[in-house]
Amino acid sequence: MQKDESAELNLIPQLTLDCAIFGFHDNSLKILLLKWKGTEYWSLPGGVIHQVESLDSAASRVLKERTGLDEIFLRQFHTFGKVARYDGNEIKKKLGHLIDPSLWYERAISVGYYALVDFEAVFPNPDTLSEECRWWDLAEVPELLFDHLDILDKALHALRLELSFQPIGLNLLPEKFTMPEMMRLYESILGKKIDPRNFQKKILKSGIAIRLDEVKKGVAHKSPFLYKFDPERYEEVLKEGGLFFI
């Protein structure tokens, strides 16, 4: 990871953070990635931690810089602290035109966060060292620099483990959604098919989703009803033991 000489005294040395920012669009889970200037290399968004801010505040700052959003749902999921997390010499060669190789930490510990955002509300914004910030389908993620593929894998694993205990749907789906869209969200996270009849029956029985007197327009088949979440009931269900049936 990079160190900034001019601001080094204001940073927590050798401690960084990396963020897996998930969105949901066109029935598939997306991840936000950065492309480094003058290269074909991609990585997860991340950054340094200032001495005067908490880890969560630093993550929120990085997320706002990349997405333009405030009050993002985020969870700290793992600390990456191996002595040799990746080939440092290889990184210096690939990015030497951007950063003086002497400015890279010989070792950096990274705190991993995953964030859940409304895809339509995000305005992807690259940082000073990248030329592009855009969404990728999880099935099409390119080769990532550093150990970011491992970080992404662990973030997705954490998301799956917490699927029944966190308001995943509330943070990834738009305000109004169809039942098939909700089911596709959970399928894309779990990586497996769900029985649609049982899914809808159990979701409606839980009371977390309310059917509206509206249908989705512009679809090829019979227009499905739109739903919205009941945030208070959603929170109650999670506190009562979670959505184990999903």
Query: What's the mean pLDDT when you consider all of the chain?
Result: 91
Residue 131 host element (H or E):
strand 130-137
45 within domain boundaries: yes
Query: pLDDT tens, 175-228?
Result: 999 999 999 999 999 988 999 889 999 899 999 999 999 988 766 567 789 999
Number of domain units in the chain: 2
CA pair distance 167, 118, nearest whole angstrom: 13
CATH code, domain carrying 46: 3.90.79.10
Both 29 and 128 in one domain: the answer is: yes
CA pair distance 6, 22, nearest whole angstrom: 33
Q: Which domain holds residue 210?
A: 168-240
The whole-number pLDDT of residue 246 equals 60
CA 231 vs CA 72, 162, 212: distances in Å: 16, 18, 15
The whole-number pLDDT of residue 25 equals 94
Q: What is the mean pLDDT of residues 6-29?
A: 87
Query: pLDDT tens, 40-64?
Result: 999 999 999 999 999 999 999 999 9
Query: pLDDT tens, 141-189?
Result: 999 999 999 999 999 999 999 988 889 999 999 999 999 999 999 999 9
The residue whose two tokens read 């936000």 is 32
Contacts of 14 (CB under 8 A, 6+ apart): 1, 3, 105, 107, 108, 109
Strand partners, 200: none
Domain closes at, from 146, 161, 176: 161
CB environment 153-188: b (16+ within 10 A), e (fewer):
ebbbebbeeebeebbbbbbbbeeebbbebbbbbbbb
Contact yes or no for 185/235 (Cβ under 8 A) = no
Q: What is the mean pLDDT of residues 82-88?
A: 92
User: What are 118's two structure tokens?
Assistant: 């409304």
205 within domain boundaries: yes
Both 95 and 196 in one domain: the answer is: no
Both 118 and 199 in one domain: the answer is: no
The whole-number pLDDT of residue 106 equals 86
Both 213 and 103 in one domain: the answer is: no
Greater pLDDT, 23 or 239:
23
> Does residue 130 surpass a pLDDT of 60?
yes
Query: pLDDT tens, 91-104?
Result: 999 999 999 988 88
181 within domain boundaries: yes
The whole-number pLDDT of residue 218 equals 65
Contacts of 202 (CB under 8 A, 6+ apart): 245, 246
Q: For the whole model, what pTM was predicted?
A: 0.90
Domain closes at, from 140, 161, 182: 161
Domain closes at, from 161, 195, 212: 161
Both 206 and 94 in one domain: the answer is: no
